[in-house]
Structure 1
Amino acid sequence: MFIISLTYIVPLEELDQHMPAHVKYLKKYYKKNIFVASGRKVPRSVGIILALAGSEEEVREIISEDPFYKLELAEFDITHFLTSQFHPDLEDLLKGK
């Protein structure tokens, strides 16, 4: 599993102009069972995505499609961690990766 942190580097008003495209991108990877959860930190300065992927390379390829990445609206940081415990409903998703 990977934690993708997006640190916003533009004013929120500019970020919000591209939010519909970003949400469309997120939905694409939810449908592919790669993204598990996403949201913003409080206060709103960072976005977080939990992703199931086979490798960091795969995550980087996926990130490259994000409008926030393409338009340089955020800096991206990837943390890879091994899930030793998880909610039982995630078991099928985790076994698939």
Structure 2
Amino acid sequence: MYVVLLTYTAPLQEIDYTLPDHAEWLARQYEHNYLLTSGRRDMHLGEVMLVRQMPRLKLDAILASDPLAIHHLAHYEVVEFSATRTAPEMRSLNEALAR
């Protein structure tokens, strides 16, 4: 799994202009079943996304297709991790427990 920390690198006016396209991009990622959850960070610093396990190069390509990335309005920090414990509500999402 991955945690993606998206940090805005442009003024909020520019970000706000691109957010409708970004929202459509997010919807497509959910349709493809790549994202588990996403949401805004406090103080409108950016966003956090929890992404299913996939090859890292595939994730990089997906993130590069985000309108915020295309317009150079955000920086993405990707943290890969293997969940070793999971709340009961999320156990079906934990690939390590599903094996």
Which runs of 5 or more structure 1 residues have no equivalent in the other structure? Answer: none
Aligned to 2:80: 80
- Identity over aligned pairs, percent: 26
Q: Could you tell me how far 1:90 is from its partner in structure 2?
A: 4.0
Query: What is the RMSD computed on CA atoms of the aligned residues?
Result: 1.6
Q: Which runs of structure 1 show a deviation greater than 3 angstroms over 4 or more consecutive aligned residues? A: 87-96
User: Would you tell me which structure has more helix in proportion to its own residues?
Assistant: 2
Q: Which moved more, 1:84-93 or 1:25-34?
A: 84-93
TM-score (norm. length: structure 2): 0.86
Q: Is the 8 A contact 2:5 2:46 kept in 1?
A: yes
Which runs of 5 or more structure 2 residues have no equivalent in the other structure? Answer: none
Give, in whole Å, the separation in 1 of the partners of 2:71 and 2:59: 18
Q: Could you tell me how far 1:86 is from its partner in structure 2?
A: 2.2
TM-score (norm. length: structure 1): 0.88
Aligned to 1:55: 55
Q: Could you tell me how far 1:83 is from its partner in structure 2?
A: 1.1
Q: Give the paired residue count.
A: 96
